[in-house]
Structure 1
Amino acid sequence: MPVTDADRRVLARAVELAREAIDAGDEPFGSVLTDASGRTLFEDRNRTSGGDETLHPEFEIARWAANNLAPDERALAVVYTSGEHCPMCSAAHAWVGLGRIVYAASAGQISGWRSEWGLAPSAVAVLPITTVAPGLPVDGPVEPFASEVRELLRRAALG
């Protein structure tokens, strides 16, 4: 599905949440859940600085959706996120039956940037969402947001 101007507006908010995360000492990731009409239902940012590496915003969206939306509402919902879901978040998204995902930067891009900067690889395999959850509608990466995410990640990693 083509990325629309409406998608870009919500994706900009996800990147803004990533910026808020880095300002709070967390890794720069942010996500927004919308309903089928584009109304924001839930948003969050990475909160892993306390030591719990599972506190990803995509995972929190899945938990929130499972507790607050009917299955048909989940299927029509859209998740916008600054970085492509990790395998844990991809699985959570699929298990609760959420719909389309739009991401700014791909997991492959993020992994490549980290390698370029001499950082250790991720603790988990770098897999596209559709490898973990085949059949999910996914759009990304999306410029200029991918470049913004790259800069946030660089800032978080290198100061």
Structure 2
Amino acid sequence: MPITDADRVHLTRAVDLAEQALEAGDEPFGSVLVSATGDTLFEDHNHVAGGDHTQHPELSIARWAAAHLTPSERAEATVYTSGEHCPMCAAAHGWVGLGRIVYASSSEQLGEWLTDLGFPPAPVATLPITTIVPQAHVDGPDPDLAQRVKKLHERRPRP
């Protein structure tokens, strides 16, 4: 399914949250969980600057959804995220049974950008979500918002 104008509203919010994370001294990632009726249920951004590199917004969404939504509500929800899920977050998404994922930029794009910017390789392989969750319904990247995400990563402090 192509990314719609309604999707872009939520996807833009996810990128706004990524920018908030960067401005707070963290890595620029943000995500939003939206119900089948279009209501924002939960949103968050990265919190890894303190040293716990599992504090990704997509993992927070999965935990929140498991605690607050029925299995059918989770399956009908959509996760909008500034960047494609890492393997940890993709697995959490699959285990919790969340629905569609829409991302602004792909893991492949992120890997290329960070390499070009001189960042060291990540300790975990960057893989497409569907490698981890083969039945996941995934849409992305969005060309315009991906460029905005790239600019956020260009502003990240170098190691």
Normalized against structure 2, the TM-score is what?
0.98
Structure 2 stretches lacking a partner, 5+ long: none
Q: Aligned equivalents of 1:134 and 1:100: distance in 2?
A: 12
Structure 1 residue 157: Cα displacement: 3.8
Q: Please tell me the residue identity of whatever aligns with 1:103.
A: Y
Q: Please tell me the residue identity of whatever aligns with 2:101.
A: I
Matched residue, 1:73: 73
Structure 1 residue 9: Cα displacement: 0.4
After superposition, the CA RMSD in angstroms is: 1.0
Structure 1 stretches lacking a partner, 5+ long: none
Which whole-Å deviations, capped at 9, do the CAs of 1:29-59 have from their partners, x for residues lacking one? 0000000011100000000111110000000
Q: Aligned equivalents of 2:55 and 2:73: distance in 1?
A: 24
Matched residue, 1:6: 6
Give structure 1 regions of 4+ aligned residues with deviation exceeding 3 angstroms: none
Secondary structure class of the residue paired with 1:50: coil
Q: Please tell me the residue identity of whatever aligns with 1:69.
A: L
Identity percentage of aligned residues = 60
The range that moved more, 112-121 or 128-137, is 112-121
Q: How does 1:69-108 map to 2 (within 5 A)?
A: 69-108=69-108
The total of aligned residue pairs comes to 159
